[in-house]
Chain A
Amino acid sequence: MITVDKLVFEYPGLRALDNVSFHIPAGSITALVGPNGAGKTTLLRCLAALDQPISGSISIDGVDVLHHPRASHRLIGYLSDFFGLYQRLSVRQCLHYVARAQGIQQNACAAAISEVSRHLNITDRLEMRPGELSRGLRQRVAIAQAIIHQPRVVLLDEPASGLDPEARHDLETLFVTLQAQGMTLLVSSHILAELDAYCTDMLVLRNGRIVEQVNVRTQHNQQQTYKLVLAWPVADLATVLLAIPDIGILKIEDNQQALLQIPINPKLQHAVLKTLLALDLPICEFAPPAGNLQDAYLQTIKPKP
């Protein structure tokens, strides 16, 4: 659905995006993660054709975004980190304006507003002005504006910032609903725990480069992550573990805990466990961890032993 190839974007004295290439499949919810200043917002703005990169190409649903920005806008819904709403219009008028500006015919606007406000639970706020709404409700109105034209791709920059836990939960439900409707979502956020609930893929950006793109639902392809916990620390645990065939080490903590990667093959898994026991390691836990995006993210950004 989204294909980016060798994208380069520069600010004076800084290369914000450096040869960024990736592909996002249709119908996925991809978490765009990375530290502050990694280039997440710049990447989203380039995808939304709001900023022009120096070189590279972006294709969304077959449309060349850089050469046909206006055509691509019909396919894209974008929620900016610093979104604004028309303070002097009612919520209904805001939605009506965006609907019309996105090419929805006048006679279809009422239905579009009704549907999107129902999705976002703002039906009872349509006659209010944005200034009278809470932060969470304004966020919902902004999202409603971004998706009112049923875009194929929705780009969301920090959509949950400033929201309370209940509003975040509602947002998760909404994203899953949008995905079920066939939309492809790219969500940038710092709060990995919240992304964990609904993301299918993760794109890690660091210093303007894609560090890794993983499918968090079946991550690392044919590998499965296991958590090994020892009763007490074992000296030079990394060397001990590296000596075992078919094993990959993702992380070791205090020579007492380790995250291992083992091929998804019962016979091999049995062999690894047997070897670990044979080494007389004080094992008190050996099981797949409660997988979350935070782990996956940390795995990708930490240097491997």
Chain B
Amino acid sequence: MNLNPEFQRQLYLEYSEARLIGVPLVLWVVFSIGYFIDDHQLSDATARIALITYLLITLLWGARQTMDSILDEYREHTWDTQRMSALHPWELVWGKLFGSTAMVWYAGSICLLVYSLADEQAVTQPMLLIYCIAIALLAQSTSLLLALIMAQRNQYKSSSILMLALIGYLFAYKFTDISLFSTGRPIHLPNYTNQNWYGLSINAESFQQLSLVFTLFWSYVGNYRLMAQALGIRTRPWVWLVFLIFLIVYFGGLAPASSYYVALAGYAVCGVLTYIGLLAEPADVLRLKHLLDALQQKNWPRLAEETPIWVLSFLSAIPFALHLELSNHPIADLISLFHFFPVAILLLLLRDCALYLFFSFGGNPQRALTLTLLSAGLLYGIIPGILSFTGLAWLSALVFPLWADSADAAIICALLQTSFVLMLLYQRWRKKI
């Protein structure tokens, strides 16, 4: 049988007789605790322990395994061997995703089996199991995605696993109401009401299930695309654009039915994806040069390949910002102090991106994100706060334009800041190339 070679290699690494025997033995000891708590029977405590053990195993160990399936290749200098292979990106993705977690799923399925035997709520059980499996798959897939991004940035530490596991657990809690701490409360699915989407009343549970399926789908698509890029396959950003449109349509439906709120959803999605896109791709000083060269040579396919995805997201946000700027704002004042000036916010978004690139092109690109977050803290909070506190409110608007009284003033302030940072960025870029 011609197994996926990557899957087979991962199996070579994962399976051993000692592990096959050892894992059930350790789990048996763990479940015995529940058995004794439940007065020598399989009941609620055992079910809870089984489910929590399952989450710990699949979220912590599983996410760690998938992340290491990429990062180990870099650490051991074997990544070039994989890149030189004839394997399809998808083969590598699923081989790593399911091969590296084979033992995790072996242990996880024992936990789920014990849970099924101990849980007394037969009606909700199948759905809860499906949620648990989907959430674990999502955490592991996101972990692989994160590893591919980290590898692009030459960061090979697996420390972000804890964060992923925590997010996974929060997801699990949201979907299944599994609590680590509460006792005596049966594990159950939350009560669902109907969800309104573009005026359609959809069963909220079905909506949530579909959302989870789509999230899983897009995480696999993301993995595929990043793997293709890592293998040197030239890609154009169509998938990113489709993802962007999907999110706009998805979130647009959740807001009240009006063009304003759809535009607001589009604006928010493009804004968030601008930041995500910026962090997802390596900040390469030569990329802008290649982009400009392609533009000069009117080499459109190359231009599409070289355009960073954050630029696409940012450009997509412009029409939404203009639409919002020209509309009557139902949310003109966010809170009593701030105003909602869409174009000014867009300029601040560009400033933040330029700031991040400025630090990335500096002497220590590894610290670019930390320095950007620090600068954002100063620019969005500390400096305007101090200025406002000392009675210089007009000056604080210069630092944080959303404090300005009019949209024009906010745009001018934001424009000044953005131009200044872009100028700094240009000078650093010129020096680097």
Interface string of B75-96 (1 = CB under 8 A from A): 0111111111111100000000
A 99-125 contacts with B by CB, 8 A? 100-103, 105-106
Q: Which residues of A are in contact with B by a Cβ distance under 8 Å?
A: 10-13, 48-50, 52, 54-55, 67, 69-70, 73-74, 76-78, 80, 82-89, 93, 97-98, 100-103, 105-106, 145
Which residues of B in the span 23-51 have a Cβ within 8 Å of any Cβ on A?
A: none
Are B233 and A12 in contact (CB-based, < 8 A)? no
B88 to chain A: closest CB distance in Å? 8
A97-B12, A101-B82 given; name 20 further pairs at CB < 8 Å.
A54-B293, A55-B293, A69-B232, A70-B88, A70-B233, A73-B86, A77-B84, A80-B80, A84-B76, A84-B77, A85-B76, A85-B78, A87-B76, A88-B13, A93-B9, A97-B9, A98-B81, A100-B2, A102-B86, A103-B86
A89 touching B233, Cβ below 8 Å = no
Chain A, Cβ-Cβ closest to B232: A69
Cβ 8 A contact of A52, one of B232, B285, B433: B232
Known: A13-B433, A67-B234. A86 touches B85 (CB 8 A): no
Consensus secondary structure, chain A interface = loop
B1 within 8 A of A: yes
What's the Cα separation between A86 and B79 when bound, in Å?
10
Q: Can you name 13 A-B pairs with beta carbons within 8 Å?
A: A10-B286, A12-B432, A67-B234, A74-B86, A78-B84, A85-B78, A86-B9, A86-B78, A93-B9, A101-B5, A101-B86, A105-B2, A145-B81
Asked if residues A69 and B231 are in contact (CB atoms below 8 Å), the reply is: yes
Contacts of B286 in A (CB 8 A): 10-12, 54
Task: List the B side residues contacting A83 at CB < 8 Å.
Answer: 77, 80-81
B1 — which chain A residues lie within 8 A by C-beta? Answer: 106
Q: Is the CB of B80 within 8 A of A78?
A: yes
Most A CB contacts (10 A, CB to CB) among B1, B9, B79, B88 go to B9
Nearest CB of chain A from residue B360's CB, rounded to whole Å: 11
B289 — which chain A residues lie within 8 A by C-beta?
Answer: 10
Q: Is the CB of A70 within 8 A of B231?
A: yes
Q: Is B290's CB under 8 angstroms from A54's CB? A: yes
Nearest-neighbour CB distance to chain B for A159, whole angstroms, equals 15
B119 within 8 A of A: no
Name the contact of B77 in the complex, choosing from A80, A93, A97 (C-beta under 8 A): A80
Tally A-B pairs: CB < 8 A: 87
Residues of B within 8 A of A84 (CB): 76-81
Flag whether B6 is at the interface (Cβ < 8 A): yes
- Chain B residue contacts of A86, Cβ below 8 A: 9, 76, 78
Contact A50 B9 (CB under 8 A): no
For B77, list chain A residues within 8 Å (CB).
80, 82-84
Which of chain B's residues 246-277 have a Cβ closer than 8 Å to chain A? none
Given contacts A80-B77, A102-B86, contact A12 B285 (CB under 8 A): yes
Tell whether, in the assembled complex, residue B76 and residue A49 are in contact, meaning their CB atoms are under 8 Å apart: no
A-chain residues with CB within 8 Å of residue B195 when the two chains form the complex: none
Pairwise interchain contact A50-B81, C-beta atoms closer than 8 A? no
Given contacts A12-B285, A105-B2, A106-B2, are A70 and B80 in contact (CB under 8 A)?
A: no
Q: How far is the CA of A166 from the CA of B346 in the complex (A)?
A: 66
Does B3 reach chain A (CB closer than 8 Å)?
yes
B79 to A, closest residue via Cβ? A84
Which residues does chain B contribute within 8 Å of A49, judged by CB atoms? 232
> Within the assembled complex, what's the spacing in Å between the Cα atoms of A76 and B86?
10
CA distance A266 to B210 in the complex (A): 87
A41 to chain B, nearest CB (A): 12
The complex places the Cα of A99 from the Cα of B5 at a distance, in Å, of 9
Q: Does B196 make an interface contact (CB < 8 A)?
A: no
